Chains A and B, each alone.
Chain A
């Protein structure tokens, strides 16, 4: 933390954010509501962003194969909904199923990534992309029973958007909600987020966690000091996948729907850009950077929606969102290579 310096993307995003806040003030928008929402949005997307950290720290690059973990989480939730598990019990079981499935998926994913050392990012993109249509078979053919999940008439398979209304919709959002005036603080949600942060923090304090960082910093040196490189990488990738699965569970309970089929396709890029805005350069990353990046990015999105509607071009938000996402990733690729960290 001592060497922390503001980097160009952060300055640009912060300036943009301040501009948006100014604009929304001029347009008389309710800033308190936006503040409340920004906290929910932070956790909703934050866990997915946190899931990138173990893989970044072990030197496996930005995890563009995030859909693998996300799909694990989706299967977990579908199982819980299928057996009509509701409330906290349902959410807990969803998490438990996710844990098991993501461990398996992460293990396979890790074995593949260990074979493409140094080029994990490009391989991850296409592993994720090709895993999605494969899973579309599963969503269509798997024998789920609950009528609320299936296509209402005729069709086969799960519907693309499964409502969590009767299951665990907003289960964490509404837990321990504290109101101070108009400001609502979702204590339960933030507590869960804090627990995951704490887990990651403690993980990097353990022996295996230190080995993870050592492998990420200098693989040859780590090998000489007797660290089992493949195993360390495998563990980090499995942990990344599991947290990604939890991330989508938390996302879905906030959003209110399980989104299946092609929905995970574009989820990796915003998460990666968030961590880059936080100050990561695609190498060793601090938890703080993930939180900061997510908060900046999400508040900016949140503010830009009503403003774009105000100036009559609603598509503008989505375009700006993709522009910023990909612009940041490209910038990070350029900067990282120039410093020759990877050569």
Chain B
């Protein structure tokens, strides 16, 4: 019995998942034959690309709403804003600021809507956010594939398909590309460190840390640990949950902006598609669960998850002569991490209730 207890305690500890990721990444890296500096540079790039998106997941977890798969909605909000800015040809810094303003306002409205919906499905938030993400994706496609050029006049003909209806699959963000990445970039040997963007990501982490330690943050934690009790204590739980969703959606919008400006090309219909799965898996890889998430889980998780993500295709190529196998391994790790976390968490929940 003792061994079994020990084993289950080990399995539940928050260091279990990160340890597995470290071991897997190490072996995959060995087989991949990639140089350490290449992997490091890639991981740093992913860190500044996906960092804010992963951080945007923390507050909903603290509020007891589980993984927020609807961060794709925030991503779509900022993409909509960018497309509007490009369609009306507002260039340079003015354009980016306008996109941020429109994006934040849109996320605010959408976050409110999602919050209202989630208040009606308490206990089933995660599945609902998945469906919301898919639903908004089809509305988004409807607007840009069918609406643009028919109901919505577009000044910039370059981004429209030749048939005159719908936005092209890829839109160049040339005028905004890497505008801030290159700031404060310094090199140690072969290692490149974009200091400014790292500071931005850490700044967002600090903001979330601060929010969680204000009065509002305390209320969020209270709602997360027990909704009935906090209702009795006079906290407006529904309002808190709506605010949490608004915050998460706005953060996701900023996250997607960082992602897009780093890539510089903008796949209109697919850029946001896997943002939710990859971010959630990264958060869980850092040792978070669907009940508990800290900022260090997010920061560590991005490094661990993306190291594995970068080395596995090459490892698959070298081991089996087939790069596709590495790709499958990647998607398996992403989905599998979430599936395993869900099963373990729910099982424990059922045991205690």
Contact = CB atoms under 8 A, between A and B. Distances in A.
B121 A337 contact: yes
Interface string A102-139: 00000000001001111101110111011011101100
A163 to B, nearest CB: 21
A337 B350 contact: no
B137 interface: yes
**Chain A interface residue number, banded:** 35 or more
Interface in B306-353: 320-322, 324-325, 328-332, 335-336, 338-339, 342-343, 346-347, 350
* Residue among A115, A130, A137, A316 with most chain B CB within 10 A: A130
Interface in A306-343: 312-313, 315-316, 319-320, 322-323, 326-327, 329-330, 333-334, 337-338, 342-343
B292 to A, nearest CB: 17
Given A115-B350, A122-B342, A133-B328, A315 B166 contact: yes
Contacts, number: 124
B27 to A, nearest CB: 17
Nearest to A272: B131
A319 B142 CA distance: 6
B124 A115 contact: no
Contact of B335 (A126, A315, A327, A329): A126
A140 B339 contact: no
B175 interface: no
* Residue among A156, A326, A338 with most chain B CB within 10 A: A326
B226 interface: no
Nearest to A313: B146
* Residue among B132, B137, B324, B335 with most chain A CB within 10 A: B335
B281 to A, nearest CB: 10
B126 to A, nearest CB: 5
Contacts of A140: 322, 324-325, 328
* Residue among B127, B137, B330 with most chain A CB within 10 A: B127
A269 interface: yes
A115 B343 contact: yes
B213 interface: no
Contacts of B329: 133
Given A312-B165, A319-B141, A133 B128 contact: no
Nearest to A261: B328
B342 A123 contact: yes
A156 B335 contact: no
B343 A329 contact: no
Given A126-B338, A127-B339, A156-B322, A334 B331 contact: no
Given A123-B346, A129-B335, A323-B135, A333 B122 contact: no
Contacts of A116: 342-343, 346-347, 350
A121 B120 CA distance: 17
A157 to B, nearest CB: 8
B185 to A, nearest CB: 36
Contacts of B138: 319, 322-323, 326
B318 to A, nearest CB: 15
A315 B269 CA distance: 12
B260 interface: no
Contacts of A320: 142
Contacts of B332: 130, 133-134
B328 A119 contact: no
Interface in B273-330: 320-322, 324-325, 328-330
A13 B118 CA distance: 25
A337 B165 CA distance: 40
Interface in B195-215: none
Contact of B128 (A132, A316, A330): A330
Nearest to A338: B120
B335 A130 contact: yes
Interface of B: 117, 120-124, 126-128, 130-132, 134-135, 137-139, 141-142, 145-146, 163, 165-166, 320-322, 324-325, 328-332, 335-336, 338-339, 342-343, 346-347, 350
Of all A-B residue pairs in the complex, the 8 with the closest CB atoms, nearest first, are: A130-B335, A126-B339, A133-B332, A326-B135, A133-B331, A323-B138, A136-B328, A130-B336
29 contacts: A115-B347, A116-B342, A118-B346, A119-B124, A119-B346, A122-B342, A123-B339, A126-B335, A127-B343, A129-B339, A133-B331, A133-B332, A134-B328, A137-B325, A137-B328, A140-B322, A312-B165, A313-B145, A313-B146, A315-B141, A316-B145, A323-B139, A323-B142, A326-B131, A326-B138, A329-B131, A330-B117, A333-B131, A337-B122
